[in-house]
A and B are shown apart, each in its own frame.
Chain A
Amino acid sequence: MFETLTLSALPAEDEALRAPIRTLLQGFLGEWPLAQRARSWLGFDRDFSRALGNAGYIGLTLPIRYGGGGRGPFARFVVVEELLRVGAPVAAHWIADRQSAPLILNYGTEAQRSRYLSQICRGEIFFCIGMSEPGAGSDLASVKTRAVPTAQGWTLNGSKIWTTHAQHADYMIALVRTSGSSADRHTGLSQLIVDLKAPGVKIRPITDLTGDQHFCEVFFDDVHLEQDALIGAEGAGWEQVTAELAFERSGPERIYSSVSLLDAWVAHLRSAGRLDGVAAGLVGSFLAQMATLRELSIAVTARLALGESPVLEASLVKDLGTTFEQSIPTLIADDLGSRPDEPIAAELYLTLMYLSQIAPSFSLRGGTREILRGIIARGLGLR
């Protein structure tokens, strides 16, 4: 079952992207501190994203006429893997590169494409995603934020929550109700591009349990939007969001969130002279899981490259991948704590604690474990 997930190879011309991006990363990041690396795709750095954009690494999958790289999903996989490998601070352009730009390309008008895509590719404008609301988390169809059509465009009222980096972003692509009521569920929802500098938008960052501020609450109070804020068809928001989530769930970021800690712990084991036995077994288990999950992620990428929307496959790989990412801090803490007399570096401890605290979010962001398993169950014909 699920035979579409089969061993695939990264094309040589895309593999060739590794060397130049490594050079760029080495130059820009140098000795980037471990605890910062562990933040990975929560790390927001405008200048870094601008530099990546200038070097042509944002929007690789977009057509050249919109400023993109004119390449396929495999090229993006290679670049993303290289960025995550070193925990580069990619949050600024992350959302736009992964899902907003493909969404605009697939469903937007020519005017919308011209207006946004080349700026995204240059790392000049940043996007966030407005899906969750205080009363609509996993039950996304019950969103209450509403856009009412007016003579000049739309009037938006409501609020979004857990919106990552809304405080820094230029635009939000929001899933809102444009007709009907919550009882209509999947019908009557639309996606709108909201300029976050528009009057009536208020953004309040929420401090997370590690002390960081990445996600936000965003309030809309009679926000006026132009006619062309609507992306895609009115009422087609649910189908569009479903396709968008396939992008959101499919990438290697669902495997590598704890990789900085893993590499630092291996360095610790080597310096402590623990090269065999139980610790080696744990290292080997992590490597084996990573190797297999990486192939699964490439297999999902291969479906994207075929022009499919691998909603089911991406759900399956994300659930497996986030389970792996979450196990890393737990099991490394088991190992380090089992040797109370073996000193560990301060930054290793700091990073271990950071990841232990943030790891539960790995299986919340982008769709909870329970929702993903429901999608898999549907794929098995059970629902």
Chain B
Amino acid sequence: MTDTELLEPFERMLIDVASVSRLREILKGGPVDGVWEPLQESGYLDALLDPAHGGAGLSFAQLGALLQAAGRHLLPVPFGETVIARALLAQAGIPPPRGPMVLITPAAGSGNDRYQQAVPLARVAQYALVEVNGRISLRMLSQAAVRHTDVHGSLAADVDWRCAPEMVAGGRSVQSGMLRAIAAVIRAAEIAGAADQLLRMTVAYAGDRAQFGKPIAKLQAVQQQLAVMAEQVVMARMAAQLGCSSGFPPSLSAVAVAKHICGAAVPRITSIAHAIHGAIGISEEHDLQLYVRTLYECRIAAGSEIYWATVLGADYLKGSCDSTVDFVRGMRQMHLNG
């Protein structure tokens, strides 16, 4: 299957079920069924599963393309997380439940291991896959476990996962920290997708908006800023592709590259988008805010660019490789590492 054959039906579905007007209703507390049910029926949630087990048998790299599409359309349900959770549960021989799932990765021993703050899309999730020190459990997200962050228009929530009843105990062990890495690469791919759409929108706006008797797109200062924005969008997309290219589960260093680059691109991209849009971009009515709020949320979720840079840099410094070029070359040849 080519990437286009894979993507086109998915994007068509997203255009159909995840319109901006529906997104706005969901952000105000409306139901997600109209988005979730078609997604559940479509089979895309089992994208990573073997065809023998009723899945689509996609690679993680192919899933990455779908994640970018989800980001482009600001899909207001945890699609990537659910795909991952269903794959991990199926590998453990546990039939996955229906309904959206999020990934929870508390840092054990940090003194804050009950809560995970600001988990994206947790307000619309029914289940959480929790990893503590490599041990994975599936939990039901009751009202008591999920607390709205009170951020205007956000679907993120603080999750007290100990209040969530455990449904399946100790189903499976993974490498410690793996779920956080997977959550990070999902966010990276969504950033790449949302940033791409934001660029299109900003370029279109610059062409429409006239000042000084001509479209602002004709002003060199505006052109140079949009060029920088385009560069950052391309950088983010390539990093997201790299992050998803190392198989499933992904390599930690590939994830670190993806989340670092995509996270670092966010403030550069959003500040230019805002600069070009001017005051209208600060209004709730304009769609710009829908993109930037998602980008900000994705940037700090599952470790920011500094977190992942430190992981990557410490790994390199503590190793014995003395050529940075060799190290980055090796990323393309390496699968799971430590």
In this complex, the member of B217, B305, B312 whose beta carbon has the largest number of chain A beta carbons within 10 angstroms is B312
Contact B325 A81 (CB under 8 A): yes
Q: In the bound complex, what is the Cα–Cα distance between A176 and B16 (angstroms)?
A: 57
Query: Known contacts being A6-B241, A85-B323, A288-B257, is A374 close to B309, with CB within 8 Å?
Result: no
CA distance in complex: A282, B224 (Å): 27
B interface, by DSSP: helix, strand, loop or mixed? helix
Partner of B223, one of A276, A279, A299, A374: A374
Within 8 A of B (CB), among A4-41: 5-7, 9
Tell me the bound Cα distance from A24 to B86 in angstroms: 51
Interface: B230 (CB within 8 A)? yes
In the complex, per-residue mask of B209-233: 1 if CB is within 8 Å of any chain A CB, else 0:
0000000011010111011101101
A1-B311 in contact (CB<8A): no
A259 within 8 Å of B (CB atoms): yes
Q: Is B187 an interface residue (CB 8 A)?
A: no
The residue of chain B having its C-beta at the shortest distance from the C-beta of A290 within the complex is B328
**Does B302 lie at the interface of the complex (its beta carbon under 8 Å from any beta carbon of A)?**
no
Q: When the two chains form their complex, are residues B323 and A376 in contact, meaning their CB atoms are under 8 A apart?
A: no
Assess whether A211 is interfacial by the CB under 8 Å rule.
no
Bound-complex Cα distance A285 to B260 (A):
7
Q: How far is the CA of A376 from the CA of B327 in the complex (A)?
A: 31
Known: A287-B328, A294-B328. A381 touches B228 (CB 8 A): no
Interface flags for B303-338 (1: CB within 8 Å of A; 0: not) read: 001101111111111100011111111011000000
Complex: A263 Cα to B317 Cα, angstroms: 11
Q: At the interface, is chain A mostly helix, strand, loop or mixed?
A: helix
Distance in angstroms between the alpha carbons of A284 and B332 in the assembled complex: 16
Provide the B183-214 mask, 1 if CB < 8 A to any CB of A, else 0. 00000000000001001100100110000000
Partner of A316, one of B230, B241, B242: B230
Cβ of A286 within 8 Å of any chain B Cβ, yes or no, is yes
Q: Which of A243-251, A267-275, A343-351, A359-367 lies at the binding interface?
A: A267-275
Q: 1/0 per residue A372-383: CB within 8 Å of B?
A: 111011011111
CB atoms of A1 and B242 under 8 A apart: no
Listed from nearest, the 9 A-B pairs whose CB atoms lie closest are A284-B313, A284-B309, A283-B313, A284-B312, A280-B313, A377-B223, A373-B227, A376-B227, A291-B328
B residues neighboring A (CB under 8 Å): 61, 196, 199-200, 203, 206-207, 217-218, 220, 222-224, 226-228, 230-231, 233-235, 237-239, 241-242, 245, 256-257, 260-261, 264, 305-306, 308-318, 322-329, 331-332
Q: Could you jot down 29 A-B contacts, CB within 8 Å?
A: A1-B196, A2-B234, A5-B238, A6-B238, A7-B238, A81-B325, A266-B316, A266-B317, A266-B322, A275-B318, A280-B313, A280-B314, A283-B309, A284-B311, A285-B260, A287-B312, A287-B316, A287-B324, A287-B328, A288-B260, A288-B312, A290-B325, A292-B257, A294-B328, A316-B230, A370-B224, A372-B227, A374-B224, A382-B223
Given A5-B238, A285-B264, A287-B328, 11 new contacts (CB under 8 A): A267-B322, A279-B313, A284-B313, A287-B327, A289-B261, A291-B257, A291-B328, A296-B235, A316-B234, A376-B231, A380-B203
